[in-house]
């Protein structure tokens, strides 16, 4: 289950694109989530988590920049629980993501999320579970080893 907030003038375009992805979420679960949101619980949860996620995002961005700036560029972002990094020329995001998954890292190829053939070459990385900067550093060190082994 997911949601997306888009500008009103783009609603029709996003609706057409969303029909390409199926929604297998049961109605009872949707109703429960709707009650959770309507009761104000989701808003309170987001307010609490926003500060935590901001810190975790900073940790990952710093670790990536310090260790892998020769290979990728972190895309600035204001929120969310995933970070986007654009790979420099010479890297295949699908191959890197596949090897990362094999090594236990939850990293996705940015090109897998695009519908056009002019896909960006990059990685999508989660950071919500980091509890310290050292955890982010360890994850980035593992990614660095994967990138280094592919050169």
The pLDDT, as a whole number, for residue 72 is 95
The pLDDT, as a whole number, for residue 119 is 63
pTM of this prediction? Answer: 0.73
Q: 80 and 96 in contact (C-beta within 8 Å)?
A: no
Instruction: Give 103's strand partners.
Output: none
Per residue of the chain (151 residues), give pLDDT as tens: 777 788 999 999 888 877 666 666 888 998 999 999 999 999 999 999 999 999 999 999 999 999 999 999 999 988 889 999 999 888 899 999 999 999 999 899 998 887 776 667 899 999 999 999 999 999 999 999 999 876 5
The pLDDT, as a whole number, for residue 138 is 96
Please tell me whether residue 81 adopts helix, strand or coil conformation.
Answer: coil
Q: 86 and 104 in contact (C-beta within 8 Å)?
A: no
Instruction: Give 110's strand partners.
Output: none
Reported for 97-106, long-range contacts at CB under 8 A and 24+ positions apart, including other chains, are: 97/123, 99/146, 99/149, 99/150, 100/142, 100/143, 100/146, 103/142, 103/145, 103/146, 104/142, 105/139, 105/142, 105/143, 105/146
Report the alpha-carbon distance of residue 84 to residue 9 in Å, rounded. 26
Q: What is the fold, at CATH topology level, of the domain defined by 25-149?
A: 3.90.1150
């Amino acid at each position: 289950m997911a949601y997306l907030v888009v500008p009103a003038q783009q609603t029709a375009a996003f609706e057409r694109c969303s029909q390409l992805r199926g929604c297998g979420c049961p109605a009872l679960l949707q109703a429960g989530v709707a009650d959770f949101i309507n009761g104000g619980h989701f808003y309170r949860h987001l307010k609490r988590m926003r500060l935590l996620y901001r810190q975790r995002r900073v940790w990952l961005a710093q670790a990536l920049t310090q260790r892998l700036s020769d290979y990728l560029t972190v895309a600035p972002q204001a929120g969310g629980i995933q970070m986007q990094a654009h790979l420099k020329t010479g890297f295949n995001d699908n191959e890197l993501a596949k090897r990362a998954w094999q090594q236990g890292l939850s990293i996705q190829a940015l090109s897998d999320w695009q519908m056009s053939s002019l896909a960006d070459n990059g990685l999508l990385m989660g950071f919500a579970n980091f509890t310290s900067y050292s955890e982010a550093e360890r994850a980035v060190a593992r990614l660095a080893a994967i990138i280094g082994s592919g050169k």
